[in-house]
């Protein structure tokens, strides 16, 4: 049984989607802070590559989108103070405001909803644990 519910194609699509999303997120900075773009792009990349639909994959990648958007924020908009990138990741929670949490959560929701789908016509639904 596979509880991650993804295969190599969907995984590659998620990676490409995340990279594109992070680049678009960076391009909009500093005028617009929109970490949800990373989640949306991750979801679209996955849905474009996936052969099947999967709710479990949507849940797992929704959570992964929270990591991706957090890493994008830490990379392109660090808190500063001469800290290393890893220290920035460790202190990411200190940079959060209610608005930022809502923006990251919105990205999680978009990623989860889109990554659970497949753009392929007639794609079958993959059941949990298979």
Candidate segments 21-29, 34-42, 79-87, 89-97, binder of another protein by CB under 8 A:
89-97
Told to check if 91 binds another protein by CB under 8 A, we report yes
Among 31, 86, 94, 98, binds another protein (CB under 8 A): 94
Per CB under 8 A, does 85 bind another protein? no
Based on the shown chain and the rule CB under 8 A, indicate whether residue 7 belongs to the binding site for another protein. Answer: no
Comparison of 20 and 95: residue with beta carbon closer to another protein: 95
Question: Cα separation of 40 and 113, whole Å?
Answer: 9
Q: Count of residues binding another protein (CB under 8 A)? A: 25
Question: Which candidate, 105, 98, 28, places its Cα nearest to that of 65?
Answer: 105
Angle between helices 98-115 and 55-76 in degrees, nearest 10: 140
Q: How far apart are CA 96 and CA 110, in angstroms?
A: 20
Asked if 96 interacts with another protein (CB under 8 A), we say yes
Q: Which of residues 106-125 bind another protein (CB under 8 A)?
A: none
CA distance linking residue 124 with residue 130, whole number of Å: 13
Residue count of the chain: 130
For another protein, which stretch binds (CB under 8 A), given 19-27, 46-54, 58-66, 75-83? Answer: 58-66
Q: Using CA atoms, how far apart are residues 77 and 117, in angstroms rounded to an integer? A: 31
| Residue 30, preceding peptide bond in cis (omega within 30° of 0) | yes
Q: Which residues bind to another protein, rule: CB under 8 A?
A: 1-4, 56, 59-60, 63-64, 66-67, 70, 89-94, 96, 101, 104, 127-130
């Amino acid at each position: 049984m596979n509880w991650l519910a993804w295969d190599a194609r969907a995984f590659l699509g998620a990676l490409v989607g995340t990279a594109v999303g992070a680049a678009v997120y960076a391009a909009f900075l500093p005028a617009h802070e929109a970490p949800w773009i990373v989640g949306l792009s991750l979801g679209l990349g996955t849905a474009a590559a996936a052969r099947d639909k999967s709710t479990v994959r949507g849940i797992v990648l929704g959570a992964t989108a929270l990591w991706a958007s957090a890493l994008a924020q830490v990379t392109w908009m660090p808190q500063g103070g001469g800290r290393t990138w890893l220290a920035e990741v460790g202190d990411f929670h200190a940079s959060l405001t209610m608005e930022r949490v809502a923006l990251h959560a919105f990205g999680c929701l978009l990623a989860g909803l889109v990554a659970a789908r497949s753009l392929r016509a007639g794609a079958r639904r993959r059941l949990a644990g298979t």
